[in-house]
Amino acid sequence: MKLRAFALALALAVATTLPASAVTFRFAFQGDLKSLDPYSLNETFTHGMLGNVYEGLTKRDKDLKIIPGLATSWEQVEPTRWRFHLRKGVKFQNGEDFTADDVVFSAERSFKPASDIKTRIQPAGTKAMKVDDYTVDFVLPSPNPILPYEWDTWYILSKKWAEANGSVEPQPQAGQQQSYAALHANGTGPFIITEHQAGVKTVFKPNPNWWGKPEHNFDEVIFTTISNDATRVAALLSGDVDYADPIPLQDVERVNASANAHVLQGPELRTIFLGFDQYRDELKYSNVKGKNPFKDVRVRKAFYLAIDENAIVDKVMRKAAVASALMISPLLFPLAKDFTRPATDPAEAKKLLTEAGYPNGFEVTMDCPNDRYVNDEAICQAVTAMLARVGIKINLLAQPKAKYFAKILVSGGYDTSFYLLGWTPGSFDSWNILANMYRCRDEKGAGGNNNVGNYCNPKVEELTKEVLVEADTAKRDKMIEEAYKIGQEQDWGYIPLHQQALAWGASKKMKIVQRADNQILFYWFRKE
Amino acid sequence: MSAQAPVPLADEPQRRSRLAAVLDSDIAYSFLHSKVTIAAAIVALVIIAAAMLAPLIAPHDPYDLRTLSLLDSHNPPAWLTGGDARYLLGTDDQGRDVFSTILYGSRQSILIGLMATLFAGCLGIALGLIAGYAGGSLDALIMRAADIQSTFPAILIAMLIDGTSRALFGEQRNDQTVFWVMVLAIGLSFWVQYARTVRGSTLVEKNKDYVLAARLIGIHPGLILFRHVLPNVVGPVLVIATINLALAIITEATLSFLGLGLPSTEPSLGTLIQIGQKYLFAGEWWIAIFPGITLAALVLAVNLLGDWLRDALNPRLR
């Protein structure tokens, strides 16, 4: 009896003291976290959010260096066989043990048709094989010296859990039916998702059984979507949220001038670019019938020359961006300085269009997200006006990212004629760009899975294969340079616009770790 | 030639007397003796005239993307430092002249408002007449439908119709379609008031002797409704229509503000306010404030006119 009374008193004491000391971290992002299935959408924000819950075999530290994750070490047994030693004693959040079976299962799941991360394990045809419960071998058809570079965002799912809940197949991005894995998460990481209302809010609680040592001091993390720029900034300034991303460029000064919040700015590795459908024989959304004007290199070059990127950087981006001649950030490619953007030349653009047989221009629909990148819709509107000057009439279709990605990516059947997209190479290496953006693909997305417009040149394709197996860095860089020269200066395959700057807004009470890949990994954050 | 000259001359006295009759009427009297109403009428007329003549008086054509220059974007009004004399009220984030955009935008707003009011009026009057005159189950059906609809806010109905049209035409709709979808959406959300008013008046009128007489001599019911009943019930409808016009313009602005209206390349007042509110905190107040003032002034003026009309036509208030 006495014991029971004591226990009751203790429980009461705990119950009354906890709320006072409980630290809740609230944050807002402009877009929503649509699916919790980590294979649905290959997108930085989604990877970052789920990276708080799930883990890959490798992780990346605060400086983007590769560190052990669910694998403690790995070695190349021979050029085409990699061995990964798994961490022992790790449990999934539902209590199951993490073993080699889960890795093999996750590898197979990443190759499934609905997966958006098909290129994580390269080259195609690589097999994961269980050696024992805590050792997995990857057998490659041809060597790949950078095999685990992108595995920090190839998250490991529990085989038993996925099978028991009908989630062996990934949730397709364009799917209407939400699978179990899209609504629930079961990772090994530092946080557990306790509540998820897609598009409204997601609640995270610390995982008490996590194998690592937590750096954060949160008892609860609440994520909400605030798509309106002004509302998001107001929420940060009023203290409703402790962190808001992104801070619209026009409001940076105002946030910095406030007493309780500031903006963390830094270069981002993402390249914002425009792409064309160069594959279909007739554009889906254009008034040109019977042919595809974007198959003509002169039309692509004309578009490139018509767009005044400097004006976009100055006015739309308020100088918080760097104009780019390449599809990769110069921070990630040492020979990038050899490339320069040609000067804007509407007269030359008009001439090229006339030569190509469009003296009066033509009409085409442009797909654009309006809640994904910094000022994305404003960039598209500016492009629309610039192209109007050379006679191109753009019908602008700006949509929230959930609808936008579902339309233009593989699961929507690459349903676009002209689009704006941003891309950060997950491996921080050019091979990712070549493989995803410049390699030919088929209609199901095999090959260059994110090559939305299907730019295709056999020579670049060949170079991409050589780059993957080349171990000599200088030689490899030369090959990459050649591929970029063909892809950009000869074929005008894409219109790279700029690398945007990160603009995270945080309360001054927060200690934030800002990584240049823009993933929001709050297990490093602290709130005083 | 000379043979035709007397014809207009013969008309003159009659026309003058008609004008005199109008000036002598109660309505004209109450109008000319209400300063507020006169001011409201002038404001409304100026805005509507400026909007309709936009292509003639606007210094720029904001819908012609070729003339926009990004380098001219975010300019403050001409009288402030950094202002450009070419852009009286400054420019927005794409380099559109705010003054010209207000003119073109009001034109869109007013046209949509007028068409929607006309549509709602025709629909409401027709249904009200039929319900009141036919009575019975048809009356019940129409009026219960009206009751159900009036439980939803008008903006919700408009959004519903707009959403349905997106499903039908796909997300990529051309400007013309959007215009008519807006007219339909706003029109359909406002018919109830007309139908109720007209039905009430029709119930009163249909038992009067002149209607009974018309029925006795065998005139077709449709003809009775439109030739005999309609002119006697149309008074209150005018009042509703004026006030509804203001509501319709507000609804259009709201839909555009929410991003459901006209495309961003052809901004209406609501779209412009929506663009501007993003920059309000950044100190670029002119993008949102000027269209906001225009919208407020227009709606207030039309509302005041409606108020006056209601008082002038109400025999009990005379």
Of B66, B70, B281, which is closest to A230 when you measure between CB atoms? B281
Q: How far apart are CA A313 and CA A325, in angstroms?
A: 13
Query: Mean pLDDT lowest for which of B11-20, B73-82, B159-168?
Result: B11-20
- Could you tell me if A137 and A280 lie in one domain? no
Is B177 an interface residue toward A (CB < 8 Å)? no
> CA B215 → CA A468, B132, B136, B229, B233, distances in Å?
92, 16, 18, 12, 18
Residue B280 to residue A230, Cβ atoms within 8 A = yes
Specify which of A260-269, B77-86, B164-173 reaches the highest per-range mean pLDDT: A260-269
What's the CATH code of the domain at A145? 3.90.76.10
Q: Judge whether residue B28 has pLDDT over 90.
A: no
Quick check: is A250 in a domain?
no
Is B262 an interface residue toward A (CB < 8 Å)? no
**Which of A395, A408, A416, A418 to substitute to test the interface with B, most B CBs within 10 Å?**
A395
Q: Please report the pLDDT score of residue B174 as a whole number.
A: 64
Express each pLDDT in A407-457 by its tens digit. 998 888 899 999 999 999 988 899 999 999 999 998 887 888 899 999 999
Q: Do B253 and B273 meet the contact criterion of CB atoms below 8 Å apart?
A: yes
CB pairs under 8 A between A and B: 70
Q: Do A261 and A507 meet the contact criterion of CB atoms below 8 Å apart?
A: yes
Region B127-144 average pLDDT: 92
pLDDT-based confidence at residue A2 (cuts at 50, 70, 90): low
Region B132-146 average pLDDT: 92
Chain A contact set for B74 (CB, 8 A): 315
Q: Which residue of A has its CA nearest to B279?
A: A250
Q: Do A22 and A219 meet the contact criterion of CB atoms below 8 Å apart?
A: yes
Chain A contact set for B264 (CB, 8 A): 377, 381, 396, 398
DSSP string, B137-202: HHHHHHHHHHHHHHTS-HHHHHHHHHHHHHHHH-S---HHHHHHHHHHHHHHHSHHHHHHHHHHHH
Q: Please report the pLDDT score of residue A158 as a whole number.
A: 96
- Could you tell me if A274 and A166 lie in one domain? no
Q: Judge whether residue B229 has pLDDT over 60.
A: yes
H or E segment and range at residue A309 = helix A309-311
Q: Do A501 and A507 meet the contact criterion of CB atoms below 8 Å apart?
A: no
Q: How far apart are CA B61 and CA B54, in angstroms?
A: 9
Chain B contact set for A285 (CB, 8 A): 172
Of B70, B282, B284, which is closest to A315 when you measure between CB atoms? B70
CA neighbor of A208 nearest in space, from A234, A181, A190, A182: A190
Residue A253 to residue B68, Cβ atoms within 8 A = no
Tokens 């047994």 map to which residue?
A: A77
Q: Do A498 and A327 meet the contact criterion of CB atoms below 8 Å apart?
A: no
Which pTM value belongs to this model? 0.79
DSSP string, A443-486: TT--BSTT-TT----HHHHHHHHHHHH---HHHHHHHHHHHHII
Residue A388 to residue B172, Cβ atoms within 8 A = no
Average pLDDT, chain A: 91
CB under 8 Å to A528, separation ≥6 — which residues?
Answer: A509, A510, A511
Q: How far apart are CA B130 and CA B139, in angstroms?
A: 7
Of B64, B94, B278, which is closest to A381 when you measure between CB atoms? B94
- Could you tell me if A164 and A291 lie in one domain? no
Quick check: is A308 in a domain?
yes
Residue A250 to residue B73, Cβ atoms within 8 A = no
Domain termination residue (choose one: A152, A172, A192):
A172
Residue A389 to residue B70, Cβ atoms within 8 A = no
Quick check: is A164 in a domain?
yes
Region B111-118 average pLDDT: 94
Q: Judge whether residue A99 has pLDDT over 50.
A: yes
Quick check: is A263 in a domain?
no
Quick check: is A369 in a domain?
yes
pLDDT-based confidence at residue B80 (cuts at 50, 70, 90): confident
Q: Please report the pLDDT score of residue B2 as a whole number.
A: 46
Query: Mean pLDDT lowest for which of A370-384, B71-85, B290-304?
Result: B71-85
- Could you tell me if A166 and A277 lie in one domain? no
pLDDT-based confidence at residue A526 (cuts at 50, 70, 90): very high
Q: Which residue of B has its CA nearest to A387?
A: B66
pLDDT-based confidence at residue A385 (cuts at 50, 70, 90): very high
Residue B94 to residue A386, Cβ atoms within 8 A = no
Chain B contact set for A234 (CB, 8 A): 281
- Could you tell me if A280 and A389 lie in one domain? yes
Is B68 an interface residue toward A (CB < 8 Å)? yes
Report strand pairing: A66-68 vs A201-206.
unpaired
- Could you tell me if A455 and A313 lie in one domain? yes
- Could you tell me if A497 and A349 lie in one domain? yes
Residue B265 to residue A397, Cβ atoms within 8 A = no
Quick check: is A161 in a domain?
yes
Number of domains composing chain A: 2
Residue A396 to residue B73, Cβ atoms within 8 A = no
Angle at CA of residue A488, ends A437 and A118, nearest 5°: 5
Q: How far apart are CA A142 and CA A126, in angstroms?
A: 9
Q: Please report the pLDDT score of residue B12 as a whole number.
A: 54
Q: How far apart are CA B80 and CA B15, in angstroms?
A: 52
Q: Please report the pLDDT score of residue A1 as a whole number.
A: 46
**A173-178: long-range contacts at Cβ-Cβ below 8 A with a sequence spacing of 24 or more?**
A173/A35, A173/A40, A173/A41, A173/A114, A173/A116, A173/A405, A173/A406, A173/A409, A173/A410, A173/A411, A173/A412, A174/A406, A174/A407, A174/A411, A174/A412, A175/A114, A175/A411, A178/A35
- Could you tell me if A128 and A274 lie in one domain? no
Quick check: is A193 in a domain?
no
Express each pLDDT in B260-291 by its tens digit. 777 777 888 888 898 888 888 888 899 999 99
Of A230, A378, A396, which is closest to B93 when you measure between CB atoms? A378
Specify which of A301-305, A336-340, A517-521 reaches the highest per-range mean pLDDT: A301-305
Q: Judge whether residue B253 has pLDDT over 80.
A: yes
Residues comprising chain B, all counted: 318
Quick check: is A10 in a domain?
no
Chain B contact set for A388 (CB, 8 A): 64-66, 68
Cβ neighbours, 10 Å, residue B283: 12
Q: Please report the pLDDT score of residue A302 as a whole number.
A: 96
Express each pLDDT in A202-261 by its tens digit. 999 999 999 999 999 999 999 999 988 889 999 999 999 999 999 988 899 899 999 999
Domain termination residue (choose one: A172, A188, A213):
A172
Express each pLDDT in A110-144 by its tens digit. 999 888 898 899 888 899 999 999 999 999 998 88
Instruction: State CA B240 to chain mean position distance.
Output: 11
Region B78-89 average pLDDT: 86
Q: Do A280 and A528 meet the contact criterion of CB atoms below 8 Å apart?
A: no
Region A487-495 average pLDDT: 95
Region B285-305 average pLDDT: 93
Residues 282-301 of B with CB under 8 A from A: 282-284
Instruction: Compute the Cα dihedral for A328, A330, A334, A339 and give only its sign.
Output: positive
Predicted ipTM of the assembly? 0.72
DSSP A318: T
Region B243-255 average pLDDT: 91
- Could you tell me if A418 and A281 lie in one domain? yes
Q: Please report the pLDDT score of residue B317 as a whole number.
A: 57
- Could you tell me if A350 and A467 lie in one domain? yes
Domain termination residue (choose one: A172, A195, A218):
A172
- Could you tell me if A278 and A400 lie in one domain? yes
pLDDT-based confidence at residue A290 (cuts at 50, 70, 90): very high
pLDDT-based confidence at residue B3 (cuts at 50, 70, 90): very low
Q: Judge whether residue B114 has pLDDT over 90.
A: yes
Is B166 an interface residue toward A (CB < 8 Å)? no
Could you list the residue range(s) of the whole structural domain that residue A453 is in? 270-501
Of A285, A378, A384, which is closest to B65 when you measure between CB atoms? A384
What's the CATH code of the domain at A326? 3.10.105.10
DSSP string, A34-84: ----TTS---HHHHHHHTTT--BSEEE-TTS-EEESSEEEEEEEETTEEEE
Express each pLDDT in B38-71 by its tens digit. 999 999 999 999 999 999 999 988 888 888 888 8
Q: Please report the pLDDT score of residue B159 as a whole number.
A: 84
Express each pLDDT in B141-156 by its tens digit. 999 999 998 888 878 8
Q: Which residue of B has its CA nearest to A367?
A: B172
- Could you tell me if A449 and A329 lie in one domain? yes
Residue A314 to residue B66, Cβ atoms within 8 A = no
Query: Mean pLDDT lowest for which of A62-66, A145-149, A170-174, B216-220?
Result: A170-174
